[in-house]
Structure formats: C-alpha cells, structure tokens
C-alpha cells in the first residue's frame, strides 16, 4: 500500500520573467521552477498538473496545481518550506490534501481572470509590469454595454488565436465586471473555459469600443462572423491575471480571506 | 532680459533600483536621471530642486521638483518628451509653470506619506518590491489607538535616525489613517515635515503595537524619553511611498484626478 496523497497548491506569481506555466526546453517556466522546489524539499520527482497554460508575462493571484507525494512534511508547513527555496516572484499561498481523483485542470468548472489597464495620459512607473497603459480616455459605459454581448454561451472562434487546437470553440461567459478607481481600470471575466488568447482578444475588443473605434453592437457582428481579423488586437500578457479557479468542491474553502 | 521660467514636475517613480533622490557620486539617483533627461530634451544643464531626499528603495506617487529653463517645448508636451528618454521606472506625470519664487522644498507646507504592509502568512510574489511583508496578524484597533498619540506637535527626537542634523526636532503630524483591504494594510501619515527615517520608525513602532509587543500608551513614554532605542525598528524603504506634497498655492490644481 502506498502513502501517496494528492496535494493541491494555491500559487501567486509574477509572470514577468517567465515564458508561462508549461515546461519548455531551455526557457524558465513557473511549472519547472515549482517542480524543482518540490524536488529540493521532498526529494521527489513529481508530475505537477496545472489548471491552465498561462502565456508568457501573465500573472496569477490564484493559480491551482496538484501533484502526488509521499512527503511527511505537515501540509500546513509545506507553503513555508517551498517558499524558502522558490524565487521571490513565486509564492505558494496554501497547500491542502485533495481526493485522489482531483485534477487542477480537468476538475475545474470555471475561471476568473482580470485584465488591468492604467488609463492615464502618463505611463505608470510603479505599475509598468502589472498594467497595460492606454493614454487616451476610455468610455466605460460603452465598454460595459459591449461586455453584455459577450455574456452567455457563444461560439468564440473569432476571439481566439489561430493556433488553437480544440474540440469545440463554444464557451460560456458568466459575467464581465468593469470597475475604475483613479487611473486603474479592471476588467473581471468569469467563464466556464477560455480559448487561447480569448481573454486578451475580448479585452482588446472592449478597448476598441472604449476608444470609439467600434460600437458595442458591432460585437454581435464580429461574433457571428467568426473572423479573428474583425476582433480587437490581443492585448499584451503583462496586464492579465488569473484570479481564481472554480471547482465543485473547492480545495480551499477560505480562498479569498 | 532672460526667458528663463520656473518649471515644476510631478513625478512617479519606482525607487527599487535607485539610491534615493539626491545626486551621489557613482550610484544612480532619481535626481541625476531626470537631470540627464532634461539635458537631452532641452540641451540645458539645470539645477533640479527636489521636495525631499527620499531614501534608497523608497517610491513616490507624487514627488515634486522644479528647475529654471528657457526651453520652447510647450509645457503640456514636456512630460511626454521627458518620458520618451527616461527609463520606465520614472514617469513625469505633469509639468507646469510656477512663480519665480516657488521652490519644491522650501515652499512646501507639508507632505503625505504611505507605508504599505502585506499582512498575510505567505509572502507576496506580485508586491514583493512594493510592500513590507509581516506574516503575523496585526491588531489594527490597537495600532489606530497608538497612532492618535503621534498626532499633534511633538518633539520627535526619539523617532529619527541618529545621523540627522536639524535645527529643531519638533514636528507636527496632522493625521494618521490606517486602512486594510484583503492583505494590504496602508498607513497614511500627513505632517508639516519629517525627520530622517521618522515615518519608517513611527510605522515600526505602530507594528510593535499591532503585534502586541508594546501597548498604545507606551508611545507617550517613548516620545517623552526621546530615546531612539525605545522606539520600533526602522522599517525597510521598499514599503514607503511619498504620496503628495502640500503648497499654499498648489502648482497642479487637479493633482489627484
């Protein structure tokens, strides 16, 4: 009988210096960096399952991953142990045991992303790797109107990277909330799943609406056309944050506290 | 007759990679970096007067400085021109003409600082150069009670760096506001002037109260003792922000918009 248990990690990371989550040859990834920390702390070479493949430069406040381990380190001490060897731009916030069949990616029923924009004539010095800078004023009322057209179940093939290989391009967006405080605009998007670059292309299209380049109603036409060229540009990765991953039985009940 | 005019700059900077504001030999400072940008853009070697000498690693959302120039670049274009040559961790937010006798430091009647603390068992990955990490919970009610004892006019000689050389150690603190949102604690301190390291030592003492090491009432005793050794430690520079500088006639009327 084995003592291998399924361990879930809740991780915050600054994606600035990484090529994304997934392991690649000869470039630093978040996945490889955490795997190396687990090896150093537990002595085990594990397979680390991530909730999604985040792109280069993208950040996370609530990334989820899991791995099987026989470690005897108390689960409550594991974040401190891993953080002691991880670089300062990755922090394990919590660790917990999960049922054997829990999988960070396949058990997920949805995700919340946030795209952060610095909307001010001057570029930000303190948030330069955290926010996308748009110097011209954005019309938030028009953006919120446009956001309504994205909500619900739609074929998002006009809002994905051409290199996507997926079974279906239908996804459901539960909610888009756009808030502003001083120069910071936050676009929160919740949905059951997202195609490659989908959040960044939706946000690029919302910015086009905010700048008056297209009308909110145009979103319907672009969606129906399924033509990537008609949608807005893919906004850069450094404004995007994975905020939360949803599961039928959340491994961390007090996630947001 | 000369066409030299007094120009005021409102600047945001990330102090992480600088040894502070003031020019020093062989180490990069904010002052020298902005002076070089002015030279490159206007061709003029100017004296740049700063509102204060910020320490190494300290950030600013609202630093003020002024210089005399004959440049014909329209004042509204000057921030964009300077930002085009400044590194990304310094951003000129605004520029304006000021009366001949305006001096960023000597015309000032007060300043607002903010000390930002990440109060969570896990260290922050995204805010690691922006917030001071305190893993143990802080008692904000006790800290607010202690903050009240600092307000008003006092001799702050127990709350300054030993290397300070000043005419008087009496300063007036107008207000201290302590707020919390999720893991972020912000301590805003407004006053007519601050001694070397005074804000960071006051915040270090407030943290001692928050951790239960001393009682709020102890603040009075420490203040009366004028003994630096009895006050809290000097918190590190990377949690400190210069937020705003006050003047009888503000050069930027719409400062906070």
pLDDT for the residue numbered B1: 54
Greater pLDDT, B19 or A149:
A149
Chain B, window 93-152: residues with a beta carbon less than 8 angstroms from a chain A beta carbon: 93-94, 120-126, 128, 130
CB pair distance less than 8 Å for A125 and B94: no
pLDDT at A162 over 90: no
Please give the mean pLDDT across all residues of chain B.
93
Cβ-nearest to A125 among B12, B80, B124 = B12
**Mean pLDDT, range A232-242, rounded to an integer:** 95
Residues of B in contact with A34 (CB under 8 A): none
Give the per-residue pLDDT at A23.
65
DSSP string, B63-117: EEEEEEE---S-TTTHHHHHHTTS-TTEEEEEEEEE-TT--TTTT--EEEEEEEE
Higher pLDDT, residue B23 or A117? A117
A161 pLDDT exceeds 80? yes
pLDDT at A151 over 70: yes
- B83 interfaces chain A, CB cutoff of 8 Å: yes
Beta-carbon separation of B126 and A14 below 8 A: yes
Contact A232, A160 (CB under 8 A): no
Residue of A nearest to B61 (CA): A126
**What are the DSSP E strand ranges found in chain B?**
5-13, 49-50, 59-69, 90-98, 110-118, 132-133, 152-155, 170-181, 184-191, 240-246
pLDDT class for A198, splitting at 50, 70, 90?
very high
Considering chain A, what is the average pLDDT of its residues?
A: 93
Tell me the whole-structure pTM to 2 decimals.
0.90
Q: Indicate the pLDDT class of residue A256, thresholds 50, 70 and 90.
A: very low
**Residue B254: pLDDT over 80:** no
CA–CA distance, A105 with A107 (Å, rounded to integer)? 6
Average pLDDT of span B160-173: 87
Residue A182 clears pLDDT 60, i.e. is over it: yes
Interchain pair B88, A128: CB under 8 A: yes
Is B91's CB within 8 Å of A12's CB? Answer: no
What percentage of residues in chain A have a pLDDT greater than 90? 82
The answer, for A91 touching chain B at a CB cutoff of 8 Å, is yes
Residues 6+ apart with CB under 8 A from A15: A30, A54, A56, A57, A58, A59, A60, A237, A238
The predicted-structure confidence for B114-157, as pLDDT tens digits, reads as follows: 999 999 999 999 989 999 999 999 999 999 999 999 999 999 99
Lowest mean pLDDT among A218-222, B27-31, B176-180: B27-31
CB contact under 8 A, A123 and B83: yes
B55 an active-site residue?
yes
* The pLDDT of residue A117 is above 50: yes
Asked if A83 lies within 8 A of B13 by C-beta distance, the reply is: no
- Sort out which chain B residues have CB atoms less than 8 A from A80's CB and list them: 121
A89 closest CB neighbour out of B61, B125, B130: B125
pLDDT of residue A166: 84
pLDDT at position A55 is 87
Kindly determine whether residue A124 and residue B61, on different chains, have CB atoms separated by under 8 Å: no
Tell whether A61 lies on the interface with B, counting CB pairs under 8 A: yes
pLDDT exceeds cutoff 80 at A229: yes
Of the candidates A187, A204, A172, A202, the residue with the CA atom closest to the CA atom of residue A243: A187
CA distance B231 to chain A (A): 30
Exposed e or buried b for every residue in B199-210, given b needs 16+ CB within 10 A? bbbbbbbbbbbb
pLDDT reading at A170 higher than 70: yes
CA distance A69 to chain B (A): 22
A156 within 8 A of A170, measured Cβ to Cβ: yes
A257 has pLDDT over 90? no
Q: What is the pLDDT of residue B23?
A: 65
Mean pLDDT of the B71-99 span:
96
Mean pLDDT of A230-253: 92
pLDDT at B256 over 50: no
- What is the percentage of chain B residues whose pLDDT exceeds 90? 82
């Amino acid at each position: 009988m084995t003592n291998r248990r399924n361990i879930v990690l809740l991780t915050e990371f600054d994606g600035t210096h990484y090529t994304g989550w997934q392991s690649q040859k000869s470039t630093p990834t978040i996945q490889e960096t955490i795997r190396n920390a687990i090896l150093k702390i537990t002595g085990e070479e594990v397979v680390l399952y991530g909730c999604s493949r985040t792109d280069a430069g993208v950040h996370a406040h609530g990334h989820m991953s899991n791995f099987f381990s026989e470690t005897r380190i108390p689960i409550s001490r594991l974040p401190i142990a891993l953080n002691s060897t991880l670089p300062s731009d990755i922090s394990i916030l919590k660790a917990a045991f999960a049922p054997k069949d829990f999988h960070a990616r396949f058990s997920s029923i949805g995700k919340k992303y946030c795209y952060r924009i610095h909307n001010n004539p001057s570029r930000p010095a303190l948030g330069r790797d955290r926010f996308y800078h748009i110097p011209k004023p954005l019309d938030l009322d028009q953006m919120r109107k446009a956001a309504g057209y994205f909500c619900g179940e739609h074929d998002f093939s006009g809002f994905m990277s051409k290199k996507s290989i997926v079974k279906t391009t239908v996804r459901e967006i539960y909610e888009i909330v756009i808030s502003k405080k001083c120069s910071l605009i936050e676009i929160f998007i919740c949905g059951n799943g997202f195609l490659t670059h989908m959040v960044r292309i939706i946000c690029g299209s919302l910015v086009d609406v905010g700048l008056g380049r297209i009308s909110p109603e145009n979103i319907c036409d672009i969606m129906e056309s399924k033509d990537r060229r008609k949608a807005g540009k893919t906004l850069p990765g450094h404004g995007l944050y994975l905020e939360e991953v949803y599961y039928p039985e959340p491994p961390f009940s007090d996630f947001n506290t």
